[in-house]
Structure 1
């Protein structure tokens, strides 16, 4: 208790110093923990080590399972306190959770239709911020179609061209219809209903299991096995149309120099995490969006190794201009995490 009190005092001192110059910075991280770390050896400790190394203010977790009836989130917070980091922890249901250096006033399970979305209200210097963590439906993963693979319907197999190679699906009408067969759009309808009347700043982060319209552009049409396809992916486009800002793309507006690849990541101690061994499936599918007045992204980074998989082979291409954190640590997930610093101007 005394340690938490001292940490809270030091955080308040920092924030009051920032407030004196008219700004407050919050570091926010979204982290898919791959079956809460059970997919790799010593995954729990590896997740802990990443958090200790990066030291974010707020972390949203996806793929929280609470195996064995244990509350994984409070267990992680307790472990972090032994390493000098004190977090409030909350699991509201579903498969997502939040830890925060600032008090969590309340929480609600917004949607549990396919994976889940949960909302949390935190208090920073007397002001409320709504933090929403989402893990959207992974089925009908339509961005595999242009790469010549099914996205879960009817299976995850390669679409064979008759000669043992992938046959890309390039018709955007087919891609759109397939994408809308997922439950992601239904989840997002519930999300938008929840935030419709909210006046406090909102942060929405998580594993969307869908790329961004900012990344599948004419500039990238012949990269990452897009095979000429330019597509406005529904989830991120709907967020942008509703006034939400993609923090990573705000800080790194060039989708070629900074593709922000989060999937599929190298995970240490296991084999390939690729689902398309004959295609380049690299994408940015983990996001941090925000909405509110006088907020801007002051920093953005990928958290995890530089390595990803391209045609089932480890590569570091398209990482030259990215910021990386914790890239020397043993990585416990098939996703990279994303960290941004959001600057709130008074």
Structure 2
């Protein structure tokens, strides 16, 4: 009897140990558009801090870092987290930003912000015995050609006389942005990092939907009307980068993964509406990674309210998308995306 009890205890201890080791090798990546540093929403900055702690994020890619009032946002947010007993590392950036629970060995500007046409930064992070090249992107918001087929101008968002349904015209307009230039710079740099044996992960608000979403079987959804091979996600796929959300949830009807525009009850409704007579819901916030035998992608979910904006109204999403609801104030008009990875 005693031997049996000892055996059970030994098995229990070994099981717990194995589970703890597995968990120790996991880390979470959060893509978080913070809508002008949370300043658009009352209590937005504190909400950003609260969500990072609640979600237990390890690597955070910020979009819309502005450094208002001569402040350094990344330093400010790290200080606020430190007061909550959470140590994070960062560096100065503008437009997009990076926060890491693990030491940053080096960092570099890959695509500098100019005339509000987007930005892209890299941090080399020492994480659980491996080095990660972690990138953050906030790409050009103009020439948002996904609005054309919905009957709106891609840069002024004024109503057009009629929708643009010629795919070549849509893609030509799309290429007028600086998004492709930024992602080319990322790919060139990421390949160099991968060749050095570093793990490569990218989080970003691309301001561009995916060709994996705008397909023939979804033309009837979200007022799209056409199937489009959108440039930035398609270029990443062609270079073997993996769209984590579509990897986990390939069905673009049951899991559309909409991240914008999202309803926020704490904001003047007019600030949330871009195309009042159409449905401009899209998945524009992403986490990509480059395949590596040392890196295993485990899971992914969205974070934010269940309501979106369409036709100038509040729409309750009833999809099968995994969604973590806000605990309190939600600081933005985007849904965030959080992915769990494991180092092998």
Same fold, judged at TM 0.5 (above): yes
Contact 1:266 1:331 in 2 (8 A): no
1:192 to 187, 196, 200: 187
Contact preservation (8 Å) 1:130, 1:203 = yes
2:44–2:329 Cα contact (<8 Å) kept: no
Q: Given the alignment, which residue of 126, 139, 143 partners 1:140?
A: 143
Question: Unpaired segments of 5 or more residues in structure 2?
Answer: 1-16
Q: Greater shift after overlay, 285-294 or 265-274? A: 265-274
Asked whether the 8 Å contact 1:148–1:168 carries over to 2, the reply is: yes
Following superposition of structure 1 onto structure 2, how do residues 22-37 of structure 1 map, counting pairs within 5 Å? 24-37=25-38
* Aligned residue in 2 for 1:183: 178
Are the aligned partners of 1:305 and 1:328 in contact in 2 as well (CA < 8 Å)? no
Higher CA-based Rg: 2
Count matched residues.
319
1:70-89 equivalent positions in 2, closer than 5 A: 70-89=71-90
Displacement of 1:287 in angstroms is 0.4
Q: CA deviation at 1:198?
A: 1.9
Alignment-derived partner of residue 282 in structure 1: 281
TM-score (norm 2): 0.88
CA contact (8 A) 1:204 1:288 kept: yes
1:146-176 Cα shifts (integer Å, max 9, x gaps):
1111111xx220113xxxxxx2211101001
Deviates more, 1:19-28 or 1:114-123: 19-28
Aligned partner of 1:116 in structure 2 is: 119
Q: How far apart are the structure 1 equivalents of 2:90 and 2:23?
A: 28
Report the 3-state secondary structure (helix = DSSP H, G, I; strand = E; otherwise coil) of the residue aligned with 1:47: helix
| Partner in structure 2 of residue 67 of structure 1 | 68
Once the two structures are TM-superposed, the CA of residue 22 in structure 1 deviates from its matched residue by 10
State the SS of the aligned residue for 1:198. helix
User: SS at 1:314's partner residue?
Assistant: strand
Partner of 1:242 in structure 2? 239
How do residues 330-345 of structure 1 correspond to structure 2 at under 5 angstroms? 330-344=329-343
Counterpart Cα distance in 1 of 2:20 and 2:189: 30
Deviation of the 1:209 alpha carbon:
0.4
Secondary structure at the residue paired with 1:197? Answer: helix
Quick check: 1:94–1:115 contact (8 Å CA) kept in 2? Answer: no
Q: Which residue of 1 aligns with 2:217?
A: 219
Equivalent residue for 1:262, pick from 259, 262, 266: 259
CA RMSD of aligned residues (A): 1.8
State the partner residue of 1:8. none
Aligned match of 1:50: 51
Q: 1:96 Cα deviation (Å)?
A: 1.3
Q: Confirm or deny that 1:125 pairs with 2:120.
A: no
- TM-score relative to the length of structure 1: 0.88
Aligned-pair CA distance for 1:305 = 0.6
CA distance in 2, matches of 1:315, 1:85: 36
Equivalent pair of 1:59/1:99 in contact (CA under 8 Å)? yes
Instruction: Give the deviation of 1:48 after TM superposition.
Output: 1.4
Deviation at 1:41, TM superposition (A): 1.1
In structure 2, do the counterparts of structure 1 residues 22 and 267 end up closer, same or farther at CA, with 3 Å as the change threshold? Answer: closer
